[in-house]
């Protein structure tokens, strides 16, 4: 026989339930899908544009630079394919049930954490590639030393500003998505939807 005079039970029964705003949830999901699609377009352009530039300027590039850039861009194609695969949960799925929607949302947030982690690691990889590039340019004597030093100073000044910004941005995104996933999982554990 349940104890109807239990203060905890009475408090629980007095709690107000906030109804889910389906329009707000739907808008949020459309916004996520749009963002993910824009990211995919930018990812593809980030690989296609350098390939076009290399193709256009191939006569002016030395063999070392051409080989290094084609190698890095080839690796980039695989990275973009992987990132696009991670974004797959946000494509389509407009008429999914609530349970399917939640599973998709969880998977997309998990994928966003992986993408942010990949962005974090791309910072040191980019710095390493720039060191290899300029070391190779020096070794193969592609430019006169004074011109190479000038190019290296400009390059490293740009990456000294840009890479920490990218790292902070990726770190904040990873932290935010980790928090969102934790909150969603806590919410789901608290009350099965």
Which residues, 6+ apart, have CB-to-CB distance to 173 below 8 Å? 112, 116, 119
pLDDT at 175 (0 to 100) = 98
Q: What is the pLDDT of residues 33-62, one digit of tens each?
A: 888 899 999 999 999 999 998 899 999 999
Question: Going residue by residue through the chain (193 aa), what tens digit of pLDDT does each one get?
Answer: 455 667 767 766 777 766 666 677 678 778 888 888 999 999 999 999 999 988 999 999 999 999 999 999 999 999 999 999 998 877 765 566 777 778 888 898 999 999 999 999 999 999 999 999 999 999 999 999 999 999 999 999 999 999 999 999 999 999 999 999 999 888 888 755 4
Whether pTM exceeds 0.85: no
CA distances from 182 to 21, 152, 176, 178 (A): 21, 43, 10, 6
pLDDT at 95 (0 to 100) = 60
Q: What's the CA gap between 35 and 31, in Å, rounded? A: 6
């Amino acid at each position: 026989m349940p104890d109807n005079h239990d203060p905890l039970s009475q408090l629980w029964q007095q709690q107000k339930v906030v109804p889910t705003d389906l329009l707000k949830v739907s808008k949020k999901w459309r916004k996520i899908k749009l963002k993910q699609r824009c990211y995919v377009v930018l990812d593809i352009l980030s690989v296609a544009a350098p390939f076009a530039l290399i193709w256009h300027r191939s006569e002016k590039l030395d063999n070392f630079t051409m080989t290094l850039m084609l190698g890095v861009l080839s690796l980039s194609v695989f990275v973009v394919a992987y990132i696009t695969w991670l974004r797959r949960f946000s494509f389509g799925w407009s008429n999914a049930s609530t349970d399917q929607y939640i599973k998709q949302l969880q998977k997309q947030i998990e994928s966003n954490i992986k993408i942010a982690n990949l962005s974090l690691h791309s910072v040191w990889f980019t710095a390493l590639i720039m060191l290899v590039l300029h070391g190779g340019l020096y070794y193969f004597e592609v430019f006169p030393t004074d011109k190479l030093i000038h190019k290296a100073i400009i390059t490293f000044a740009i990456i000294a500003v840009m890479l920490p910004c990218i790292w902070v941005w990726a770190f904040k995104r990873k932290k935010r998505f980790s928090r969102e996933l934790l909150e969603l999982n806590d919410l789901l554990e608290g009350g099965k939807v």
